[in-house]
A and B are shown apart, each in its own frame.
Chain A
Amino acid sequence: KTSPTITMLYFAAASTSIGLTSEQVTLPLGQSQTESPEHREAELKFPLSSLPSLLLSLHPTALNLKQILDTSQWSVNVEMVDSDDMDKIELKGGEEVAVICPVSGG
């Protein structure tokens, strides 16, 4: 049984730091055989607020990555996520997630 993955997109400072413009990230979702349906369901979702530390653990030598992620916004499936909703957005696999560093267009 394969683990769910998300597609990460990186731009600007985030891509310079990580050295990638995109990657597939496996979500560390629970694989336990617990009988409780509530427990099982909770384990199948990964809150967006947990993603920064997951990315940091995947890229331990990326320069300034923590600072970059701390000052970035996020988008999920081509929609910006409000900072207040980071806990409420839950990823279950298949989403396209982007790190949106402070923009500088125009």
Chain B
Amino acid sequence: MSSMILPSASFETRSEIAGATCALSYTLDVPTIIQSVNDGAGANVHFIGTTRNSFQGKVVTRLEYQAYSKLAIKTMAEIVGTAFENFKPIRCAVHHRLGTVPVGEPSIVVAVSAPHRKEAFRACEFILEEVKRKAQIWKRGKLDIILSYSI
């Protein structure tokens, strides 16, 4: 399998605006991210997406993520801004990993704190779904072991 050319436009970056943190980084410190939204607000919801070990019947050992970082971080910040308008959380954080992510490790973390659990769950889900739908980030699976199982 050909090696992936890494775009120079895919780099670590971060946006912090009034209680909303968005980041693209090569590592994810999950406990720190979770703690970063803890404001004694009452309800804290976290989503951690980890890389799956199979794709279409083939074994995947790692995924590689790249982003158009300047645009992806803008998109993520807009999404979080909309989450604040719609659900009024206290703090939100969305961190997406770049580069190689071995199977089972987190590729995305969304953390939200809010006074009540309904807003916290809804804001977290909204941010996750919108980031998946719109953020300019791409993944590529490394199929190191080619085993396919016919369905």
Contact = CB atoms under 8 A, between A and B. Distances in A.
B134 A103 contact: yes
Contact of A106 (B5, B66, B131): B131
Contacts, number: 76
Chain B contact patch, size range: 20 to 34
Range class of the A interface residue count: 20 to 34
A46 interface: no
Contacts of B131: 105-106
A98 interface: yes
B6 interface: yes
26 contacts: A9-B7, A9-B68, A11-B68, A12-B138, A12-B140, A16-B4, A16-B5, A21-B6, A78-B70, A79-B71, A98-B68, A98-B136, A100-B136, A103-B132, A103-B133, A103-B136, A104-B138, A104-B139, A105-B65, A105-B72, A105-B132, A105-B135, A105-B138, A105-B139, A106-B132, A106-B135
